[in-house]
Amino acid sequence: MDMTENLRPSGAHPTDQDRTSYAYGNAAYDGSTAYDGVAGGYPPPPPYAPTNNHRRAKRPVALLAAVALAAAVVGGGTATLVGQLNNGSAQATGFTGTVQGTTVSQSSKGTVSGVAEAVSPAIVEIGAASSAGKSTGSGVVITEDGEIVTNNHVISGAQQIEVTLSTGKTYTADVVGTDPDKDLALIKLRGASGLKTAALGDSSQVKVGDQVVAIGSPEGLTGTVTSGIISALDRDVTVAKDDSGSSDQGQGQGGGGQQWPFEFGGQQFNGDTGEKTTTYKALQTDASLNPGNSGGALINMDGEIIGINSAMYAPSSSAAGSGSSAGSVGLGFAIPVNTLKADLDTLRAGNNS
């Protein structure tokens, strides 16, 4: 049947309804004008384009679901990816499988082994020789060319400093700056490049009960890893302040059983801190710390440095009766990393407080 055929029944007459004008194309149709080539005077229906909105609407949803499913299979990142897509962000393409600022893989995140594997290469052993003997401590590499943070009492009065990396390679180091008031020091390796560095975290975010990992060189055992929790915050710890090297605090970190003298709660531990002392706010941890851990790292489970280990309590052995060390009893202290970050410019300037 011709689509333009007049479908009005034979003999039918127009109704008495008012004629209404309709816009059609570029002319107005009032119901009485006959169109060329059209029987009956009625215009042909307008050519409507076929629509497929229902089918098209489903395709982006299906695509989003497929992408989210693929992200879940590869790296468990569905929630992050969908959230970024909903916000119109394209940052999801930058995901590399590591926690930003560290090298702890997603599969190992939150494990002691994962933290140890990622951060151990940035922890070094420091040997400091002076007229009083040789001390052993630890340090944290913070730049690829060999800037290392440690405790002031580790290198205090040292005439020569030798640093051993986790690989066994050794370097000679020079003192860049010290801050005895905070028991911090910065040294620099000679001729180093391309070193593995540690990421500095935010100690203001640390909470009591957080899991932590300690890495250092207790008794010269390089790269020793222990773990525990944060036991308390803002402990007032007092340690010896001595740039001349006349005290034993910095000289007993190797063998011989001597400890880090410090004061806490009005009492002295591990010996006499001397007349020159300094007090700082410290993180308390039950992670095992022993002589040689001084200057090493206290690390959160994302692999970020949150403190520099500085003091621990080790009661003397009653069996020996000679004041020899009985080892760690889970009472250790670390200088918050935010204290270090605030002091870095001063240390790099070579200022010795």
**Which residues carry out catalysis?**
153, 183, 294
Separation CA 148–CA 339 (nearest Å) = 15
Contact criterion met (CB below 8 Å) for 187 and 139? yes
DSSP annotation of 156 reads T
DSSP annotation of 87 reads T
> Which two three-digit tokens encode residue 243?
């740039």
> Which amino acid type is present at position 255?
G
Separation CA 110–CA 303 (nearest Å) = 9
The string of DSSP letters for 246-292 reads -SSGGG-SSSSS----EEETTEEESS---S-EEEEEEEEE-S---TT
Q: How far is CA 295 from CA 137, 236, 322, 353, in A?
A: 6, 18, 27, 18
Give me the residues paired with residue 230 across strands: 285
> Which two three-digit tokens encode residue 315?
């009661």
Phi-psi region of 295 (alpha: psi -120 to 50; beta: other; left: phi over 0): left
Rounded to the nearest 10°, the torsion over CA 187, 114, 303, 192 is 30
Give me the residues paired with residue 184 across strands: 179
Contact criterion met (CB below 8 Å) for 295 and 309? yes
> Which residues, 6+ apart, have CB-to-CB distance to 316 below 8 Å?
322, 323, 324, 325, 326
Contact criterion met (CB below 8 Å) for 173 and 148? yes
Separation CA 103–CA 228 (nearest Å) = 21
